Amino acid sequence: MGRQDSLGQFEQLVLTAILTLRDDAYGVSIHAKVAELSSPKPVSLGAVYVTLDRLEDKGFVKSRLADPTPERGGRSKRYYQLEALGETALQESAVTAKRIWDAFCEVLGKDWARELSGKRWRKEPGR
Amino acid sequence: MKRAKSEDGGPPRWMEALAAILLPPACREHILGDMRERYQSPGRYFIEGARAIPFVILSRVRRVANGGTLLLEAMGMYAAFLAAGRLEEGNLAGPLALWRLAVPPAALLCALLLGDTYAQPEERDGRSGLLYAGFAALAVAVAGDSLTVSRWVAIAGGGLSLLFVAGVRLYLPHGAGHTPLATGLAFARRETPVAGRRRHLPELSAVVAILVLLWLFHQTARFYHLVK
């Protein structure tokens, strides 16, 4: 893959959110998932829309407008779906992240990694 | 705490109407729906809108702006005003005359971009951009002498510019689905052949732009007797 195919960190978060949400990936749910993944960093709704547009332009995701719903004042939802290209790019990013993690573990030791994971997990219930 | 909502439990109607006006039609429907779904209070709705809408507009501008075509249109409009400037004596005289003539085409270009951004998503002929540019040309003509060029130059230049842009848009497909800046990458990956006449447009436009800029600098330098 070329250099243009590499994903930014925020793009990785948005693609991961779409991947995990499957058929329920639309603006609000994607924003909620990205906010959860990037916690405690706040995420703006505008940043999510801009990234979704960019990912669509790159051919990583595709979107469709659903039927209007009354709880949204008769407005439609725009659902996003991961394309094969997006899935490949996300997989490559995950592999790279794994390599970085392994390198960290190798240098700083397994205890450090376990401690870091523990910190992360301990934070979850209190959020 | 009591929430200030409209009758149907959503945000106040005027706020939603304001957001609907500001949002480009292509993303109006789903973003308004999302904002309504997240609605808690008028204050939060306002803050959320103020934080999201400018980015959405900029993203739309990026999606509709075709660098090559835009450059071609800018050069064509400048050439039109340059030609119109020859109608009256004195328009091309003076140290900054050539730069002064660039102000009306710049205004028209901004209007063109604004029109493209707020065009309906299914529109492919770029007529909204042309309409906005038409209004801008009219405004430039009305402003007349108080702006940088005389009224007749503004009318002739504006008319020629609109003709040129209409010609460009007739020849080249237009809209968010046809912007090489936005979709070039996706095209390349899917190995979809890009129409031959568009393939080298950005490079060609860049060369033309550089030549025009060089000529402009040469003319300015000649006026100051820096070169013969």
Give pLDDT tens digits for B145-170.
666 777 788 888 888 888 888 888 87
Whether the predicted pLDDT of B178 surpasses 80: no
Q: Which two tokens mark B90? A: 């004195």
**For residue B126, what are the contacts with CB-CB under 8 A and spacing of at least 6?**
B115, B116, B119, B169, B174, B175
- CB within 8 Å: B52 and A45: yes
For helices B67-85 and B201-223, angle between their N-to-C axes, nearest 10 degrees: 30
**Interchain contact B61–A (C-beta under 8 A):** no
**Interchain contact A72–B (C-beta under 8 A):** yes
CA distance A38 to B123: 37
Judging contacts by C-beta atoms under 8 Å, the chain B residues touching residue A4 are 185
The three-state secondary structure class of A9 is helix
Render pLDDT for B20-57 as a digit per residue (tens, 0 to 9): 999 999 999 999 999 999 999 999 999 999 999 999 99
Whether the predicted pLDDT of A56 surpasses 90: yes
CA distance B102 to B81: 8
CA distance B147 to B138: 13
CA B190 centroid distance within chain: 29
How confident is residue B218, by pLDDT bands cut at 50, 70 and 90?
Answer: low
Q: Could you give phi then psi for residue A12, rounded to 5 degrees?
A: -60, -40
- CB within 8 Å: A44 and B52: yes
Render pLDDT for B61-114 as a digit per residue (tens, 0 to 9): 998 888 888 888 888 888 888 888 777 776 666 667 778 888 888 988 999 889
Q: List, as ranges, residues 4-23 from B with C-beta within 8 Å of A.
A: 8, 10, 16
The DSSP H or E segment spanning A90 is helix A84-108
